[in-house]
Structure 1
Amino acid sequence: MPTHRSLPALRPTTCLAVITLFATLLTGLRADENYFGYTYGSETLPKGRWEIYQWATSRTGKADGSYRALDLQTEIEHGFTDRLQGSLYLNAIKHDISRVTDFSDRNQVRFNGLQAALKYSFKSPYKDGYGLALYLEPGYKRYSAKSGDRVDIFFIEPKLILQKNFLEDSLVWAVNFSGEFEREHNLDEREWESELELQLSTGLSYRFAPNWFAGIEALATSAFERMHLDALGEYGLFAGPNLHYANKKWWATLTVLPQLTGWPETKGHRDLEHFEKLQVRLKVGFNF
C-alpha cells in the first residue's frame, strides 16, 4: 500500500505569527476606509502608515440664475501612533455664477487656503464594541464658499466621532457632532465677523457584496451670528444615498445630498440663499 506523509504540525509560535499578521493587515484595511462622504469614522491609521486622498464636492442650484461651485481638497494623512493621526489639507475652489440674486457673476478657479487636523481614537469598533474619537481641525480660507468673494477666514473645528458596527461588521453606523468657530475678515468693508456653525451628521452603510458598501447619509447644519446660540442665522437639512468601494490599495466613496428643508425659506421650503439645492461629494484614497 502506498504510504501517505502527514503534513508537519504548525508550531504555536508560527500560528500566532500568522494570526497576528492577518489581524494587522485586516486592521490596516479597515482603518484606511471612509465609508461616508461627510461623516467620519472613528478609526485611525496604524503607526507609520500614510494615506493620500482627493475630495471633490459639487454644490449646485440657487433660487434663480445659474450657480455651480466645486470644492477641491487634497489630504495627506499619517499615523503617528496606532491611536493618533495627523492630516494636512490643501484647498482649491471654483465658482461659476451667473444671474444669481445678491451674487456677483464670476467664473474662476483659485487656491483656497489650507487646514491641519489631529484625530485621536479612544475606542475601536473592532476591538471594543464601539468607536469613539476626537478630532480637531484649525484652518485658513481665502474665499467665501457661498459667493466666491475675497475674504480671510480663520476657523477651528472640534468634532466628536462615534461608530458602531453590526452583523459582523457588515453594517456600519457613524455619528458626528461638530462645532466650527469662525472669524471672517471682509476685505471690502474692512470688518471682522464671528460665526458659530454646528453640524450633526450620521450615516448607515451595509456591505452588499465583497468590497462594496451602500447606504444613506444625512447632514444637519446651522449657523449662529456672533457665536450666540440665540442668534440663529440659517439652517439646512440634507439627506441622500452613498456608495463605497475599497480594495487593498485604494478606495472611493460617493455621496449625493439634496437639500430637504432649510430656513430662512426662499423657495420650496428650502434655504437657497445660504445653501444649495444639491451637494455631491466624491472621495478617492490611496494607501501606502
Structure 2
Amino acid sequence: MKKRILSILLMVCMILTMMPVVALAGTTNKYGDFSVTVGDSGSAPTYEEGVLTFAEAGEYTVAMADGKTSTSNRIVITAENVTLNLNGVNIIAPNGINAVGYTALTAQKSTILNITNDSALTGGMGGNYFHRGNAGGNGISGNVIVTGTAHLVAVGGSGGPSPMFDANGGNGISGNLTVNGKVNITLKGASRSMGSGGIGITGIISASGFLVMAGGLKIPQLLSAPIQVHNNMLRSCFHHFQQQTSTHQQPLLQKVAPTMS
C-alpha cells in the first residue's frame, strides 16, 4: 500500500514539473541581470544562456537587477500581444564570434514597448570571418509600438573589421515603428570607416508627437524607407545629404512635433 501511495505521489510530482510555470500577478523575480514583474496576465519568462524569453502574451515590467546598470543579456519575445514596460533597461548585446552581432531586443507582432524610465538597446559588434567581417546587430528587430514618457535609444552595432573590408553596421530598428504618447526616441545606425553604415530605421515611422534622431542614413536608403506621420509636422535636414559627395553616412535629424490647431 505504501509503495502504491509513493508511486502516485511520484507521478503527481512528475506531472507538476511538466506543467508551464505561471507567475502570480505582481511577483518580481530575478532573471540573469534583469528584474521582471509579471502583470495581471502572462506567465513567467524563461532565462537561458543570457537570453530572457517571453513566450506568453501579457504585460511585464523589466528593469535591471540590483547592482546592475547595464548587461549583455538579450531579450527575445516569441509571443504576440506582449507589452514590456522598460524601466531603465540598458542592453549592450554580445559581439558576434565569426558571426553577425547579436540583437538587443527581438520583437514579434503587436509588441508594445512602454518606456517608463530611460532605456537603451544597442546591438553587438559583428565578428570576423576569414577575410571579411560580419554585420553588426540591431538595437531592435521586428515591428514595435513604442509609448511612454521617457527616452528610448536604439543603436546598431558596428560591423566587424577585417583587413580588406569592414562589414555593414547594424540598424537602430530593423522594422517598422509606431509611436504613441510623449516618448522620446533616438535611433542610430552604426557607422564604419569602410563599408556601409547601418541606418536608424529600415521601415516606416508612424507617429503622434515625438522626437526621432536617426543617424547613419544614405540617400538611397532614406528614400527606400518612407516616413509616415499622422497629425504632425516633419522637418528633416536633407541639406546634409545634398552637400555630401562621400558615400559614407552622415547623421540625420528628424524632428516630429504635434501640429498647432
Q: Which has the larger radius of gyration?
A: 1
Q: Which has the higher strand share?
A: 1
- Give the TM-score range, shorter chain: under 0.3
TM-score w.r.t. the length of structure 2 is 0.28
TM-score w.r.t. the length of structure 1 is 0.26
Greater length-normalized contact order (CA 8 Å, ≥ 6 residues apart): 1
